[in-house]
């Protein structure tokens, strides 16, 4: 298979595989919601799960703002429920990742990491987003040795240790509060003098005796030989630099949409988000996008699920209008 730069692929060796009416790339709330709606329309959609089953939501310990769960629900548990419901109505699941696409004509062609070539009459992109990195010395070298982007995944390893959380939004506080289950202290380092997180999360964080805050400060280096030993800090107002001892660094400074393989084939804005209209339609007819791959504003589980449902409804309408 010849792959072109930018994620597109050649059709020279295109196989005569069966053509799916709907293919969904991604298995977060947007992907599963799209799968549910497409399956209930009896299109037997195919879901390419990607590397993270359930998307970013599955890495969240407790989701408290998704309707229908007054006591909250685990992110992984919610993803499992989404999947079970979609499969109940006929959604097919492929545990593989899309590595290249050709959107130049229908049926669209998707190449996977597993070497499969899949054809689709309509495509719903729900590839989500990946955590941003600090891009400072020591970060790459110490990832997995004290540097983490998922408290739910790695919190247990920091029992009775001191950790820092970098960021000031909902994710930073949610994961920071989770870390207080294990760590002796959790210090939030934020580049501003006030948090961006919701009021309830802020109240909980300020009330937690294990939570501490360093304001107007950035991490300029993560220090350690075989494991994290400290972070080098710089106060943005005074310019003062200091070394802060810690055994763990959890980074929550936003996400970048996973849209690289669609570059040059779809309209994408300067921040990497796929441009869609109010009906989730992209610049290519028959291709739709939902969730954090297209949402730069809300980025919530509930809004992603709603976008996925809308994308599937529009895909079904597209199929009806373009039936031979």
The candidate with the shortest Cα–Cα distance to 228, out of 246, 211, 242, is 246
* H helix count then E strand count, the chain: 6, 17
Catalytic residue among 71, 96, 113, 150: 150
Catalytic one of 71, 102, 113, 154: 154
Neighbours of 194 (CB within 10 A): 10
Given a contact cutoff of 8 angstroms between Cβ atoms, the answer to whether 136 and 222 are in contact is yes
Of 268, 283, 287, 256, whose CA–CA distance to 101 is shortest?
287
Active site residue 150: yes
| Residue 102 appears among annotated catalytic residues | no
The residue assigned the tokens 């989500």 is: 128
Tokens of 243: 């070394």
Residue 153 annotated to the active site: yes
From residue 130, alpha-carbon distances to 59, 177, 192, 252, 256 in Å are 12, 21, 23, 11, 5
CA distance 183 to 315: 47
For residues 240 and 258, give the distance between their C-alpha atoms in angstroms, rounded to a whole number. Answer: 36
Cα dihedral 194, 171, 143, 244, rounded to 10, equals 30
- The single residue of 153, 160, 277, 295 carrying the catalytic annotation is 153
Q: How many CB atoms lie within 10 A of CB 279?
A: 12
d(CA 282, CA 256): 19
Structure tokens at 97: 């990742």
- Could you say which DSSP state residue 229 is in? -
Residues 231, 217: Cα–Cα separation, whole Å: 11
Residues catalogued as catalytic: 150, 153-154
């Amino acid at each position: 298979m010849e792959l072109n730069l930018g994620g597109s692929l050649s059709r020279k060796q295109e196989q005569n595989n069966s053509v799916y009416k709907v293919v969904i790339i991604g298995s977060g709330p947007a992907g599963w919601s799209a799968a549910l709606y497409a399956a209930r329309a009896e299109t037997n959609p195919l879901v390419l799960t990607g590397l993270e089953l359930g998307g970013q939501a599955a890495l969240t310990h407790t989701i408290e703002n998704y309707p229908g769960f007054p006591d909250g629900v685990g992110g992984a548990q919610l993803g499992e429920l989404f999947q079970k419901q979609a499969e109940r109505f006929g959604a097919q699941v492929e545990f593989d990742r899309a590595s290249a696409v050709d959107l130049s004509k229908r049926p669209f062609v998707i190449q996977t990491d597993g070497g499969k070539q899949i054809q689709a009459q309509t495509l719903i992109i729900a590839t989500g987003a990946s955590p941003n990195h600090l891009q400072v010395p020591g970060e790459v070298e110490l990832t997995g040795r004290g540097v983490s982007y998922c408290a739910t995944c790695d919190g247990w390893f920091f029992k009775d240790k001191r950790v820092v959380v970098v960021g000031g939004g909902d994710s930073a506080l949610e994961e920071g509060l989770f870390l207080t289950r294990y760590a002796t202290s959790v210090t939030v380092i934020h580049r501003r003098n006030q948090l961006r997180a919701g009021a309830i999360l802020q109240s909980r964080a300020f009330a937690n005796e294990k939570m501490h805050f360093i304001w107007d400060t950035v991490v300029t280096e993560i220090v350690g030989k075989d494991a994290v030993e400290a972070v080098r800090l710089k106060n943005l107002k005074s310019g003062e630099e200091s070394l802060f001892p810690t055994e763990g660094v959890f980074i929550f400074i936003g996400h970048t949409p996973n849209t690289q393989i669609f570059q040059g084939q779809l309209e994408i804005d300067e921040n990497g988000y796929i441009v869609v209209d109010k009906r989730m339609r992209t610049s290519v007819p028959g291709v739709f996008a939902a969730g954090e791959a297209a949402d730069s504003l809300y980025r919530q589980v509930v809004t992603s699920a709603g976008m996925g449902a809308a994308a599937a409804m529009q895909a079904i309408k597209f199929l009806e209008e373009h039936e031979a």
